[in-house]
Amino acid sequence: MEFKDYYKLLGVPRDAPPDAIKKAYRRQARKYHPDVSKETDAEARFKEVSEAYEVLSDPEKRSAYDRLGANWKAGQDFRPPPGWEQAAGFGGGAHGFSSADFNAGGFSEFFESLFGGGFRQTGPGAGRAGGSGFRTRGQDQEATLSLDLETAYHGGRQSLRMGDGRTLAVNIPAGVSDGQRIRLTGQGAPGLGGGPAGDLYLSVHIQPHALYRVEGRDLLLDLPLAPWEAALGSTVTVPTLSGKVDLKIPAGSRAGRKMRLKGRGMPGKTPGDLYVILKIETPPAETQAHREFYERMRRELPFDPRAHLA
Please write the tens of the pLDDT for every residue from 252-268.
Answer: 999 999 999 999 999 99
- Distance separating alpha carbons of residues 277 and 257, to the nearest angstrom: 6
pLDDT given for residue 182 in this prediction: 94
303 in helix, strand or coil? Answer: coil
Contact call for residues 144 and 36 (beta carbons, < 8 A): yes
Question: Amino acid letter at 208?
Answer: P
Contact call for residues 301 and 227 (beta carbons, < 8 A): no
Question: Amino acid letter at 189?
Answer: A
DSSP summary character for residue 307: G
| pTM flag (> 0.75) | no
Q: What residues of the chain score a pLDDT lower than 70? A: 69-72, 80-106, 116-136, 192-193
pLDDT given for residue 83 in this prediction: 56
- Distance separating alpha carbons of residues 195 and 274, to the nearest angstrom: 48
pLDDT given for residue 82 in this prediction: 60
Q: Among 31, 53, 52, 25, which Cα is nearest to 143's? A: 31
Q: Among 104, 106, 98, 20, which Cα is nearest to 62's? A: 20
Give 3-state DSSP helix, strand, coil % of the chain, rounded to 5. Answer: 30, 20, 50
pLDDT given for residue 67 in this prediction: 76
What are all long-range contacts of 248-251, with beta carbons under 8 Å and residues at least 24 apart?
249/225, 249/278
- Distance separating alpha carbons of residues 302 and 99, to the nearest angstrom: 89
pLDDT given for residue 276 in this prediction: 98
Contact call for residues 157 and 169 (beta carbons, < 8 A): yes
DSSP summary character for residue 308: G
Task: Determine how β-strand 234-238 pairs with β-strand 218-225.
Answer: unpaired
pLDDT given for residue 136 in this prediction: 66
